[in-house]
Copies of this chain bind each other. A is one copy, B any other.
């Protein structure tokens, strides 16, 4: 897949486009076509609810009504509001597009940081991410699902670092996931922890800092060595 501006735009939406895939559950289209449609409708309604109100106000009956699905189905299949949030996170993990491949590590990491920045500063998706992070703080099933979501995303982007290592852009043995975490962490820290403004300059600084740390060997698995 060649990299075009349209691909970049699509990439940018990787974490925001949660509700447009008609068959989000592989293998369930037939005979699970109806099951998949019900799931899509219920998860869309869940996301809509999280985009506009705090997770602890999620109401199963309202979501069933918004989705046009019977309450019994929603209760039987998802059990609780946290069950809905956990499944939304599973669905988000499944909605995947390829990671950037600009030909250079700085370019790829900038694309990654821009994706995170745009997702978190998007009014709708920022609210959804705040909600799922809060839900994970309150419920272990949601915590596992959030962990799974980020493990999936990190694994998808790891080849960016593997290719960079092959090109000699980072020291041999650089831990791909640690480098990727270093790009995202400062952005999420402002967004969810210190509740500070999150700007494009923060995204750029995160990339610059992560690249400098990687070049210095901070992510080669010997962090304590001096």
Point out residues on A near B: beta carbons under 8 Å: 54-56, 130-131, 133-134, 136-139, 143-144, 146-147, 150-151, 154, 178, 181-182, 184-186, 188-190, 192-196, 201, 204-205, 208-210, 212-213, 215-219, 223-224
Q: Is the interface of A mostly helix, strand, loop or mixed?
A: helix
Q: Which residues of B have CB within 8 Å of A224?
A: 201, 204, 208
Q: In the complex, A25→B190 CA distance in Å? A: 28
Q: Is the CB of B131 within 8 A of A137?
A: yes
Q: In the complex, A111→B133 CA distance in Å? A: 28
Q: Is the CB of A146 within 8 A of B194?
A: yes
Copies per assembly: 2
Q: In the complex, A9→B181 CA distance in Å? A: 30
Given A213-B208, A213-B209, verify A138-B134 contact (CB < 8 Å). Answer: yes
Given A54-B137, A55-B138, A138-B134, verify A205-B192 contact (CB < 8 Å). Answer: no
Interface centre among A138, A139, A151, A195 (most CB of B within 10 A): A195
